């Protein structure tokens, strides 16, 4: 008999938002994955100590063999209910290729591998960013962003980002929005959904690092936020919980902004 346990798979499970996402699924079976075994072990131990059902599997999401091994591990453990994909890096890594490969190529590798596990009522919830929304639609780079595994894709997008890893981050996250639209028909044919979530400034180590590097800009953004504050990882996790649940059963191929309303004002700032 196959194992029918319903699983929530969380990438970036050792990260600020990933850990908060794990915590909203109390009572459900969690598969926590992150880059290093040490990080995974630490997160799983923390969750188990707090009464969660969690198992771990280390995976570099940019490595196709690792992603396939993760998929196979999940298949052995039960039935995928949701893939919550939070793993990512910000522009602070100062490496355009790393940002593109982790945030965009890694995302498509996961979408393709987990499509094999998708079934009626399952979903993928992918992390984009509100900054994806400052990148306008443009045929010249959108084709490359929607096809990040093509050999010339990185070079095509690089021509538009002026050497800035922060701008590359915004483009890569726009690519994540395009990937959800691109794969939605295939997932839908299996009764499965694929959505993105775009957080604003969230107080996690990643958010705080960005704040340290651009303190004035981050303060300006806070003042321009209708709710006049940053978000918390828990506020993002609550929306993930909804998107992964059957309450969101008619939501697919779209993006949900969780940014305190700030992106419209950022766009006006230019
Ligand atoms: N914090 C924010 O303000 C904010 C805002 C908008 C969007 N986001 C997005 O939310 C997601 C989570 O952000 P966070 O603040 O929790 O960041 P975080 O840095 O706390 O967590 C990210 C996790 O991803 C993992 N990771 C990085 N590269 C990996 C790889 N190659 N393979 C596997 N795992 C890898 C890291 O080890 C880390 O645990 C990211 O996709 C980020 O772009 C965050």
Strand order across the beta sheet in which 6-11 lies: 53-58, 29-34, 6-11, 79-85, 123-127, 193-199, 255-258
Q: What are phi and psi of 126, to 5 degrees?
A: -105, 140
Residue 169: active-site member: yes
CB-CB contact of 3 with 78 (8 Å): yes
Cα–Cα distance, 36 to 208 (Å, whole number):
22
Q: Which residues pair with 194 in a beta bridge?
A: 124
Q: Which of 49, 56, 25, 157 shows the shortest CA–CA distance to 100?
A: 157
Tell me what pLDDT residue 2 has: 67
Domains within the chain, CATH numbers bracketed: 6-204+232-260 (3.40.50.720)
Tell me what pLDDT residue 72 has: 98
Tell me what pLDDT residue 206 has: 81
C-alpha distances out from residue 64 to 30, 61, 71, 74, Å: 22, 7, 11, 15
pLDDT digits (tens, 9 = 90+) for 172-212: 999 999 999 999 999 999 999 999 999 999 999 887 888 88
Cα–Cα distance, 114 to 259 (Å, whole number):
28
Residue 266 near ligand 1, beta carbon < 6 Å: no
Weakly modelled stretches of the chain, pLDDT under 70: 1-2, 270
Q: Which residues contact 256 (CB under 8 A, 6 or more apart)?
A: 195, 196, 197, 198, 239, 243
Q: What are phi and psi of 33, to 5 degrees?
A: -130, 145
Find the length of the chain: 270
What spacing in Å lies between the alpha carbon of 104 and ligand 1's midpoint? 12
Q: Which residues contact 99 (CB under 8 A, 6 or more apart)?
A: 89, 90, 91, 93, 165, 168, 169, 172
Residue 22 near ligand 1, beta carbon < 6 Å: no
Q: Which of 201, 205, 198 shows the shortest CA–CA distance to 223?
A: 201
Cα–Cα distance, 237 to 256 (Å, whole number):
12
Residue whose Cα lies nearest atom 33 of ligand 1: it is 35
C-alpha distances out from residue 78 to 2, 58, 233, Å: 7, 18, 27
Q: Which two tokens stand for residue 30?
A: 């969690």
Overall pTM surpassing 0.85 (yes/no): yes
Q: Which two tokens stand for residue 27?
A: 């009572």
Mutate to test the pocket of ligand 1, among 15, 170, 180 (most ligand atoms within 8 A of CB): 15
């Amino acid at each position: 008999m196959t194992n029918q346990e319903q699983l929530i798979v969380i990438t970036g499970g050792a990260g600020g938002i990933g850990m908060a996402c794990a915590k909203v699924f109390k009572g459900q079976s969690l598969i926590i994955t992150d880059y290093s075994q040490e990080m995974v072990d630490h997160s799983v131990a923390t969750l188990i100590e707090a009464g969660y059902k969690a198992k771990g599997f280390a995976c570099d999401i940019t490595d196709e063999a690792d992603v396939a091994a993760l998929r196979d591990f999940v298949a052995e453990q039960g039935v995928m209910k949701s893939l919550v994909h939070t793993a990512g890096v910000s522009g602070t890594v100062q490496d355009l290729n790393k940002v593109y490969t982790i945030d965009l190529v890694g995302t498509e590798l996961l979408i393709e591998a987990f499509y094999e596990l998708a079934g009626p009522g399952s979903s993928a919830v992918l992390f984009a960013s509100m900054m994806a929304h400052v990148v306008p639609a443009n045929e010249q780079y959108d084709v490359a962003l929607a096809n990040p595994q093509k050999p010339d894709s990185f070079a095509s997008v690089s021509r538009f980002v002026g050497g800035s890893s922060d701008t590359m981050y915004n483009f890569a996250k726009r690519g994540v929005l395009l990937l959800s639209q691109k794969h939605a028909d295939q997932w839908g044919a299996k009764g499965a959904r694929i959505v993105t979530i775009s957080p604003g400034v969230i107080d996690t180590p990643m958010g705080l690092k960005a704040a340290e590097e651009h303190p004035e800009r981050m303060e300006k953004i806070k003042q321009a936020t209708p709710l006049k504050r940053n978000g918390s990882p828990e506020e993002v996790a609550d929306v993930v919980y909804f998107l992964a649940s059957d309450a969101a059963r008619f939501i697919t191929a779209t993006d949900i902004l969780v940014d305190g309303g700030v992106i419209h004002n950022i766009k006006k700032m230019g």
